[in-house]
Amino acid sequence: MITQRETWGTRAGFILAAAGSAIGLGNIWRFPGEAYEFGGGAFLLPYLFALLTAGIPLLLLEYTLGRKHQVGPPSVYRQISKPAEGIGWWQNAIAFCLSTFYAAVIAWALSYTYFAFSRGWGDQPVDFFVGDFLGAGGNLDFFEFRWPIFAVLVGVWVLVLTIMLGGIRRGVELANRICIPLLMVLFGIIVVRAVTLEGATEGLNAFFTPEWSRIGEAEIWLGAYAQIFFSLSIGMGTMIAYSSYLKKKSELSTTAVTVAFANSSFELLAGIGVFSILGFMSVQAAQPIDGLVGTGGGVAFITFPTILNEMPGGAFIGVLFFASLAVAGISSLISIVIVPMTSVEDRFGWSRKKTVAYLGVPMAIVSLLIYPTANGSSMVDAVDFAVSGYGLVLGGLATIILAFATGKLKSLAAEANRTSVLKLGNVWYACLGLTAVILTIVLFLNVKGQIEDLSDPEVANELVYINWGVGGAMIVFGLVMTVILYKRPLPVREEAEPEPALDTE
Ligand code: TRP
């Protein structure tokens, strides 16, 4: 028997938390690099298309599922169709993997915030990041710990698990009330400084100039969908988990639109900030921007320190930049970690204390064993690809197919429309259908490309196997959980009297 669940304190509390989940490392660390790699301005077209036809509709689907069922993802899927419970557990496996490496990148950002005060990375930021900081060798050496990163990562997990213990209102909501305004101030200052740098326009041109010739590549479309899914935190049950704490009468449609636009605005702003700064560098070093951009960790942890060394006031901007990375990351990490917590609590009737002890702590331990080691950054890349490149998109696709296959879409629309300002109907069904078709095609083409790569000894190395291994293991986990739990009914929730004090809003 589980007792009445908590709810968000206010509508603004939920919006802040949902935006806090969306705005994260994906916006600052992932988006600028992806956009650049996938054709600059030409990327923005598939990106916008994916935002409007897949991002917002799926956000609405996840909100509706969560608010309707008021339980974590596996229990939601089970209520739709018993064998579908595995989708929820698979998404939990994705959340587990994502949280372990996401926390590690936050730990890097925090370390770099500290280095930034004295530009402690010295005048060889590449060697510093790869060698002194990560201590990455060419090989996969497990258990060679980098103790300073280890210590910071312990701090990140202690903070996040403490927030989890605080629950929804006094934990998650409070944390976001602090993180989001802080982030806006920190990042606002950076962008203003960035666009006034000499050379900023150079960078912005590189960022926005479209390479139209590439618009037909399947890779670019998968990249755009993957970015939207990652950035909006969809496809993994995060938004189901968050909205399961909504009151039944909460409005959904304008909330989804607000969150989606806040997130994309921040993302564009981050792109503008980052590329203005790259433009500055390119003018200073008389080098084309091309050579300055690495993807993933490259821009933030290598290119940036190099530039900050040259920039007047670089130490100050550096502190702001890495601190905003960490703050944005924390509010997102909370929303990733809450997925398994909520899932287990609702499925097995565990208390929050118990899930933190038996699930949160092991998550932290896995994270600490894998990432603050000499292979940390290789593992981040490998798992990022399995999780963000495929996992989320497949997860979102599964949710859409399930809703169609079980004929539940109409009743879900009716459920959302009960309180929604914008009514869900044919446009919504069409967008979800279109998304399913596009994702199927794009995934097929990409997997085909990947399989071809496997036969190329240049590309097929240990990391590729880790990639496929992690991706496959997560799906197997979902299947196994379905079988194990098939006969076990959902716990009955004690129907508490509606609390009048909470319902007056
Ligand atoms: N959206 C976050 C970012 O942009 C990351 C994130 C949080 C996430 N929760 C998620 C990504 C759920 C996928 C699924 O950094």
The Å distance, Cα 487 to ligand 1 centre, comes to 32
Does 470 or 57 have the greater pLDDT score? 57
Pair 334, 128: CB distance under 8 Å: no
The Å distance, Cα 232 to ligand 1 centre, comes to 6
The Å distance, Cα 233 to ligand 1 centre, comes to 4
Q: How much is the average pLDDT of 10-28?
A: 94
Average pLDDT, the chain: 89
Q: How far is CA 330 from CA 2, 106, 327, 429, in A?
A: 29, 7, 5, 34
Lowest-pLDDT choice from 18-27, 407-416, 453-462: 453-462
- For the chain, give the percent of residues with pLDDT over 70: 93
Residue 502 belongs to some domain of the structure: no
Q: Is the pTM of this model over 0.95?
A: no
Three-state secondary-structure class, residue 236: coil
Residue 492 belongs to some domain of the structure: no
Lowest-pLDDT choice from 6-10, 16-20, 83-87, 205-209: 205-209
The Å distance, Cα 107 to ligand 1 centre, comes to 17
Alpha-helical regions (H) of 72-173? 73-80, 85-118, 125-127, 147-165
Token look-up 């996992």 returns 391
User: What's the confidence (pLDDT) of residue 42?
Assistant: 83
User: What's the confidence (pLDDT) of residue 486?
Assistant: 94
Pair 211, 40: CB distance under 8 Å: yes
Three-state secondary-structure class, residue 421: coil
* 62 pLDDT above the threshold of 80: yes
Pair 161, 335: CB distance under 8 Å: no
* 295 pLDDT above the threshold of 50: no
Q: How much is the average pLDDT of 118-131?
A: 87
User: What's the confidence (pLDDT) of residue 107?
Assistant: 96
Q: How much is the average pLDDT of 295-307?
A: 75
Residue 493 pairs with which residues in a beta bridge? 2
Q: How much is the average pLDDT of 224-238?
A: 93
User: What's the confidence (pLDDT) of residue 498?
Assistant: 52
Pocket lined around ligand 1, Cβ cut-off 6 Å: 21-22, 24-27, 230-231, 233, 236, 238, 332, 335-336, 392
Q: Fill in the DSSP letter of residue 289.
A: G
| Cα separation, 363 vs 343, whole angstroms | 15
User: What's the confidence (pLDDT) of residue 123?
Assistant: 87
Residue 199: CB atoms within 10 Å: 18
Q: Which residue's CA is the closest to the ligand 1 atom numbered 6?
A: 233
Q: How far is CA 239 from CA 57, 120, 259, 308, 336, in A?
A: 12, 39, 11, 37, 10
66-120: pLDDT as tens digits = 999 999 999 999 999 999 999 999 999 999 999 998 999 999 999 999 999 998 8
Q: What is the four-CA torsion angle of 416, 419, 424, 425, rounded to 10 degrees?
A: 90
Q: How much is the average pLDDT of 282-296?
A: 71
| Nearest ligand 1 atom, CA 236 | 14
The Å distance, Cα 334 to ligand 1 centre, comes to 10
Residue 319 belongs to some domain of the structure: yes
Query: Which of the listed residues 91, 101, 238 should we mutate to test ligand 1's pocket, taking the one with most ligand atoms within 8 A of CB?
Result: 238
Query: Which of the listed residues 105, 236, 325 should we mutate to test ligand 1's pocket, taking the one with most ligand atoms within 8 A of CB?
Result: 236
Pair 134, 400: CB distance under 8 Å: no
Q: How much is the average pLDDT of 61-67?
A: 97
* 3 pLDDT above the threshold of 80: no
The Å distance, Cα 21 to ligand 1 centre, comes to 6
| Nearest ligand 1 atom, CA 333 | 7
User: What's the confidence (pLDDT) of residue 289?
Assistant: 76
Which of 370, 372, 333 lies closest to 162 in space, CA to CA? 333
| Nearest ligand 1 atom, CA 263 | 4
Residue 1 belongs to some domain of the structure: no
Indicate which CATH number applies to the domain containing 468: 1.20.1740.10
Q: In total, how many domains does the chain have?
A: 1
Averaging pLDDT over each range in 43-47, 358-362, 448-452, which range is the top one?
Answer: 358-362
| Nearest ligand 1 atom, CA 328 | 15
| Nearest ligand 1 atom, CA 229 | 13
Residue 267 structural domain = 11-485
| CA-CA-CA-CA torsion sign (76, 80, 82, 84) | negative
Residue 235 belongs to some domain of the structure: yes
The Å distance, Cα 197 to ligand 1 centre, comes to 31
The Å distance, Cα 102 to ligand 1 centre, comes to 9
The Å distance, Cα 460 to ligand 1 centre, comes to 28
473-497: pLDDT as tens digits = 999 999 999 999 999 999 887 665 5
| Nearest ligand 1 atom, CA 24 | 15
- Tokens of residue 173, six digits: 């909501």
Query: Which of the listed residues 47, 59, 97, 335 should we mutate to test ligand 1's pocket, taking the one with most ligand atoms within 8 A of CB?
Result: 335
Q: Which residue's CA is the closest to the ligand 1 atom numbered 10?
A: 233
Q: Fill in the DSSP letter of residue 213.
A: G
The Å distance, Cα 488 to ligand 1 centre, comes to 31
Confidence label for 503 from pLDDT (cuts 50, 70 and 90): very low
Q: How much is the average pLDDT of 227-239?
A: 94
Does 77 or 135 have the greater pLDDT score? 77
User: What's the confidence (pLDDT) of residue 460?
Assistant: 57
CB neighbour class for 335 (10 Å; exposed up to 12, middle 13-18, buried from 19): buried
Confidence label for 465 from pLDDT (cuts 50, 70 and 90): confident
Confidence label for 137 from pLDDT (cuts 50, 70 and 90): low
| Cα separation, 174 vs 310, whole angstroms | 38
| Nearest ligand 1 atom, CA 94 | 14
* 466 pLDDT above the threshold of 80: no
